[in-house]
């Protein structure tokens, strides 16, 4: 088997399973572990896979922080559909919390309040979008502004949350790892999100399908802290089963 043929087989296995162990490739390709590692190194240099702890995965699982204007362009249609589904969960005279991120911006654009709605928001963009509705009371959290996300973090915001109780938290995340939990790229944001979860009766995560199997730097919570995940149709059947097996409601936006 030539090197090109091995590379093709490795990529086929990755596309099929999402990740593959070095030991499994040794058996499948009938070559040494050294040869497999060299092949994986070549493929990683070509940005075709990412090596991690004795295995290879199809995409780099670690997320870097990006400015909000860049994130807005990623999976825009999927985020709009997710935001539309999330808005349907808001009830009459509801009190909710909306965290930060471009997916919750899509939620804000889809909200049509029934009678009165109270919103606690960490996002300046969300508050600005919702300000067009006279029957939405907006509590904008204060604190230090994160320029990359146009949202606030810090002690001031946490103090306000300590005085609040809301029915639902709508939370955008940078990564969902079924073993590790939900994550973001910034530790201060993760701390604020933890306070939001504590103040909410139900935590609803809004995440397009690319977020599954990935991690940001800062952990927000274990996956069991999540009640509902809303995602798009690109989510794999394997992930769907793992989510539902954990007792989490999964809503797939059309």
Instruction: Give the residue carrying structure tokens 């050294």.
Output: 34
With a cut of 60, say whether residue 4 has pLDDT above it.
Answer: yes
Residue 201 has pLDDT above 80, yes or no: yes
In this prediction, residue 47 has a pLDDT band, given cuts at 50, 70 and 90, of: confident
Query: Per mean pLDDT, which range of 19-23, 74-78, 219-223 is the poorest?
Result: 74-78
Of the pLDDT bands very low, low, confident and very high (cuts 50, 70, 90), residue 61 is low
pLDDT in tens, 92-129: 999 999 999 899 999 999 999 888 999 999 999 999 99
DSSP 59: S
Which pLDDT score is estimated for 68? 58
Residue 14: the pLDDT is: 84
Pairing of strands 181-184, 50-52: unpaired
Give burial (CB, 10 Å; 0-12/13-18/19+) of 49. Answer: buried
What's the mean per-residue pLDDT of the chain? 91
**Residue 7: predicted pLDDT:** 93
Give Cβ neighbours of residue 231 (< 8 Å, ≥ 6 apart). 82, 207, 208, 209, 211, 212, 250, 251, 252, 253
Residue in the structure block whose two tokens are 């005279």: 93
Q: What percent of the chain has pLDDT over 90?
A: 74
Reply yes or no on whether the pLDDT at 72 is more than 90.
no
Count Cα atoms within 13 angstroms, Cβ side, for 170: 33
Which residue segments constitute the domains of the chain, with CATH numbers given? 3-57 (1.10.10.10), 68-253 (3.40.50.1360)
Q: What is the pLDDT confidence band of residue 54, given thresholds at 50, 70 and 90?
A: confident
Average pLDDT value for residue range 191-199: 97
Q: Is residue 149 pLDDT above 70, yes or no? A: yes
Paired residues of 92 in beta bridges: none
pLDDT at 94: 96
Q: What is the pLDDT of residues 210-252, one digit of tens each?
A: 899 888 889 999 999 999 999 999 999 999 999 999 999 999 9
Please check whether residue 222 is in contact with residue 181, taking contact to mean a CB–CB distance below 8 angstroms: yes
Q: What confidence score (pLDDT) does residue 60 get?
A: 67
């Amino acid at each position: 088997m030539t090197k090109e043929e091995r590379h093709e087989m490795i990529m086929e296995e990755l596309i099929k399973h999402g990740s593959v162990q070095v030991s499994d490739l040794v058996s499948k390709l009938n070559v040494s572990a050294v040869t497999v590692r060299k092949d994986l190194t070549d493929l990683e240099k070509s940005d075709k896979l990412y090596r991690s702890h004795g295995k290879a995965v199809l995409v780099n699982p670690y997320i870097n922080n990006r400015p909000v204007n860049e994130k807005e362009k990623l999976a825009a249609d999927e985020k709009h559909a997710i935001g539309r589904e999330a808005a349907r969960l808001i009830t009459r005279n509801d009190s909710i919390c909306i965290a930060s991120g471009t997916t919750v911006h899509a939620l804000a654009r889809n909200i049509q309040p029934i009678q009165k709605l109270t919103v606690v928001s960490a996002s300046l963009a969300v508050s600005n979008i919702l300000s067009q509705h006279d029957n939405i009371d907006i509590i904008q959290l204060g604190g230090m502004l994160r320029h990359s996300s146009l949202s606030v973090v810090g002690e001031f915001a946490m103090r306000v949350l300590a005085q609040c109780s809301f029915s639902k938290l709508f939370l955008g995340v940078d990564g969902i790892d079924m073993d590790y939990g939900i994550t973001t790229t910034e530790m201060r944001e993760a701390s604020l999100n933890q306070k939001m979860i504590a103040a909410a009766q139900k935590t609803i995560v809004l995440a397009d399908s690319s977020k599954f199997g990935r991690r940001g730097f800062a952990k927000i919570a274990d996956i069991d802290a999540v009640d509902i995940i809303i995602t798009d149709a690109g989510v794999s059947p394997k992930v769907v089963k793992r989510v539902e097996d954990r007792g989490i409601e999964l809503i797939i936006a059309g």
